[in-house]
Every structure is written in C-alpha cells, then in structure tokens.
C-alpha cells in the first residue's frame, strides 16, 4: 500500500510490522491501516526511516 520503503529495525522501538495493523471494509472500500516510516507522503515529522507512524488508505474493491 505504501509508495516508499520502510525499515522497522531503524525505528529504534519495540513496535514492529504487524503489531498494530488492521483492515476495515465498508461500502465497497477497503480501509487498511499499517505501520510505515518511509515518509512516502512527505509529511512524516520524524523524517524517513525513524519512528513508525500509522498510515491508512481508502482502496476501492471491484
């Protein structure tokens, strides 16, 4: 789902990929949530490959 590359090892905390992730589905849209530290959106306050943040997206399901 992410346009960037993450690295949970570089985040320096005990939260890793999959510890806090989820998926919701409503009205033909999937809403995944995942850990990411790639800064692919350009607005990660910690910069790339630092603390993991939660990202989400609305994905149409055909």
Cα–chain center distance at 60: 18
Residue 17's pLDDT is 63
Q: In the predicted model, is pLDDT for residue 1 greater than 60?
A: no
Contacts of 61 (CB under 8 A, 6+ apart): 25, 28, 29, 30
CA-nearest of 31, 38, 30, 29 to 2 is 38
pLDDT tens digits for range 17-49: 666 678 999 999 999 988 888 888 888 888 887
Residue 4, classified by CB atoms within 10 Å of its CB into exposed (0-12), middle (13-18) or buried (19+), is middle
Tokens 């992730």, residue? 21
Task: Tell me which of 2 and 28 has the higher pLDDT.
Answer: 28
pLDDT tens digits for range 3-13: 666 666 666 66
CB 54 within 8 Å of CB 32:
no
Residue 52's pLDDT is 79
Residue 48's pLDDT is 81
């Amino acid at each position: 789902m992410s346009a960037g590359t993450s690295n949970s090892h570089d985040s320096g905390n005990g939260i890793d990929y999959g510890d806090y992730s989820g998926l919701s589905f409503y009205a033909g849209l999937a809403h995944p949530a995942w850990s990411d530290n790639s800064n692919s959106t350009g607005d990660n306050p910690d910069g790339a490959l630092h603390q993991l943040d939660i990202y989400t997206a609305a994905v149409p399901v055909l």
